[in-house]
Amino acid sequence: MKEIILIILAVITLGSAIFVSFSRNMIYSAFTLLLTFSGVAGLFSLLGADFIAGVQLLIYVGGIMILIIFAVMLTQNISEGKKNNLYRYPLTGLILSLGFLSIWIDILWSIPWETINQPYTPMSYRLGDSFLTENLFPFEMISVLLLVGLIGAVSIVRIAQSKEQVDVSRGTDTMEVN
Amino acid sequence: MIFSLPTFLTIGAILFALGFYNVLVRKNTISILMGIEMILNGAAINFAAFAFFTKAVGGGVMVLFIITLAALETAVALAIILSIFWINKTTFIDQASSMHD
């Protein structure tokens, strides 16, 4: 039963990742990446990381992808048509990434892994425990880093907006309203 | 055995390779950002697989750090991309070449 669910989730994740990589429409890529991240959340929950699956859905699907879709909608021209996610030199990219992938898969399947076959136990108890005892300092540092990043992101936008010659309009939009 | 460690590592490796292809080949800066997110998710799958198959909880800790830092980095990167878009009126990366000879 676990194998069937694993195969279905892997097909969903990798199929949508392939669609994201080879699509020529920006909106299609952005919305299919949502499906990829949901598949990854399913794979996390198969691996006993239930809290991490919830966090992935909240932050990646509900935060990062919404940001990216907003950015896509703010920076595309409606009148430009549907092919706005072009790529160049696809053959070189394919050769490089498939070369790396073949090396990694060859190495992975030829190492005798020593795994502990444990029954399915959720990891949230041990995670919370380690965040408060062993990994306390990285936990606090992540909070400081989040604060710094928030201030940085807002300040970049404010610097760009306060210059006189920057026009916060929607690009070269030539849509006519009848 | 399908439900074993190398299967999950392969899934992570294929996600990484597809994200890598996206970063190399795309002209739109937001597509490159989506490729970086796929790379980070591939690495996160690897960490979570190791946390399950060897009883190390550090893998789960790393996955939470990866998710947090990816959110932060996306916010900063989108701020930069929007600023460049307001100046250049386009998001294609080969037209942000005002410092070029």
Chain A CB contacts of B3 under 8 Å are 2-3, 6
Q: Look over chain A and give the mean of its residue pLDDT values, rounded to a whole number.
A: 86
pTM beyond cutoff 0.90: no
Q: How confident is the model at residue B92 (pLDDT cuts 50, 70, 90)?
A: confident
Interface test with A, best of B2, B8, B16, B26 (most A CBs within 10 A): B26
Q: Count CB neighbours of B34 within 10 A.
A: 28
Q: Look over chain B and give the mean of its residue pLDDT values, rounded to a whole number.
A: 90
Phi/psi at A122 (5° precision): -70, 150
For A30-66, what is each residue's pLDDT tens digit? Answer: 999 999 999 999 999 999 889 999 999 999 999 999 9
pLDDT value at A18 more than 70: yes
pLDDT value of residue A11: 96
Chain A CB contacts of B70 under 8 Å are 60, 64
CB A13 to CB B11 under 8 A? yes
| Better-predicted residue by pLDDT, A137 or A167 | A137
Q: How confident is the model at residue A174 (pLDDT cuts 50, 70, 90)?
A: very low
Q: Which of A15-24, A58-67, A155-164 has the lowest mean pLDDT?
A: A155-164
pLDDT value of residue B61: 94
CB B91 to CB A97 under 8 A? no
Place of tokens 């408060």: A132
Q: Is A91 exposed, middle or buried (0-12, 13-18, 19+ CB in 10 A)?
A: exposed
For A73-117, what is each residue's pLDDT tens digit? Answer: 888 765 565 666 677 888 899 999 999 999 999 999 999 988 887
Q: Count CB neighbours of A139 within 10 A.
A: 15
The yes/no answer to whether this complex scores an ipTM above 0.95 is no
Chain A CB contacts of B15 under 8 Å are 13-14, 17, 36, 40
CB B81 to CB A93 under 8 A? no
Interface test with A, best of B39, B57, B73, B88 (most A CBs within 10 A): B57
Place of tokens 């080879």: A22
CB B72 to CB A146 under 8 A? yes
Chain B CB contacts of A76 under 8 Å are 91
CB B81 to CB A96 under 8 A? no
Q: How far apart are alpha carbons B99 and B101 in whole angstroms?
A: 7
Distance from CA of A171 to the nearest CA of B (A): 5
Q: How far apart are alpha carbons A88 and B28 in whole angstroms?
A: 11
For B14-43, what is each residue's pLDDT tens digit? Answer: 999 999 999 999 988 899 999 999 999 999
